[in-house]
């Protein structure tokens, strides 16, 4: 029997592709800085409209040659095509529904949170307002299927799951 190295059987971790969908340039800068602080220096792409987000994930038009995202960070406030509509389209398309979507909003209105989870959003966060809070984002960025931990962010789970709300004081939650 030939000698084979067990390391040949291991999957080499890859840098993940993240699509940030955000129309506010200041918030885009904060989000990009947070991902850089978390170790993502390549594979970070962003679009400023929901319509462009849908073209990106479908590989249409000017996005025909981009790799599909491994994670989408979606701000709900989008011109033309709303963030909820983007979420609905992606999660109802069989070829795209596997992509985890972290939904961010300036509001944590319970009806909005329920709407996000009803459309199969993977995580809902209330957007922090300061750079210090943004850079507390802690995502292992080299796993093929990442696990997400957000520190100093208010994470709200859907009422039909756990109705727990994590406070903003250095507690860590891992969405399931």
For the chain, the domains span 14-173
Sheet holding 154-156, edge to edge: 44-47, 18-21, 71-75, 101-105, 123-126, 154-156
Asked if 114 and 72 touch (Cβ cutoff 8 Å), the reply is no
Whole-number pLDDT of residue 151:
40
Bridge-based pairing state of the strands 137-138 and 149-151 = antiparallel
99: closest CA among 88, 107, 91?
Answer: 91
**Looking at the predicted structure, is the pLDDT value of residue 82 above 50?**
yes
C-alpha distance from residue 25 to each of 15, 22, 75, 83, 102 (Å): 25, 8, 12, 16, 19
User: How far apart, in whole angstroms, are the C-alpha atoms of residue 38 and residue 32?
Assistant: 10
- Number of neighbouring beta carbons within 10 Å of residue 13: 11
35: closest CA among 54, 18, 59?
Answer: 18
Whole-number pLDDT of residue 160:
42
Bridge-based pairing state of the strands 149-151 and 172-173 = antiparallel
The CATH number of 14-173, from 2.40.110.10, 3.40.47.10, 3.40.50.620, 3.40.50.2300, is 3.40.50.2300
Q: What is the mean pLDDT of residues 145-150?
A: 41
**Looking at the predicted structure, is the pLDDT value of residue 19 above 90?**
yes
Asked if 74 and 104 touch (Cβ cutoff 8 Å), the reply is yes
Higher confidence at residue 114 or residue 140? 114
- What pTM does this model have? 0.69
Written as six digits, the tokens of 63 are 């996005």
């Amino acid at each position: 029997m030939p000698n084979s190295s067990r390391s040949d059987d291991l999957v080499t971790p890859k840098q993940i592709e993240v699509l940030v969908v955000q129309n506010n340039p200041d918030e885009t800068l904060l989000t990009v800085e947070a991902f850089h602080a978390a170790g993502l220096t390549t594979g970070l792409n962003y679009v400023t409209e929901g319509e462009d987000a849908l073209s990106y994930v479908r590989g249409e038009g000017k996005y025909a040659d981009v790799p599909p995202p491994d994670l989408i960070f979606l701000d709900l406030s989008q011109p033309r095509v709303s963030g909820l509509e983007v979420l609905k389209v992606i999660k109802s398309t069989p070829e795209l529904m596997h992509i985890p979507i972290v939904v961010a909003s300036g509001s944590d209105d319970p009806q909005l949170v329920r709407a996000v989870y009803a459309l199969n959003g993977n995580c809902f966060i209330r957007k922090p307002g300061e750079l210090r809070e943004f850079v507390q984002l802690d995502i292992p960025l080299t796993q093929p299927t990442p696990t997400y931990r957000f520190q100093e962010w208010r994470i709200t789970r859907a009422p039909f799951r756990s109705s727990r709300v994590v406070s903003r004081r250095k507690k860590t939650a891992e969405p399931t």
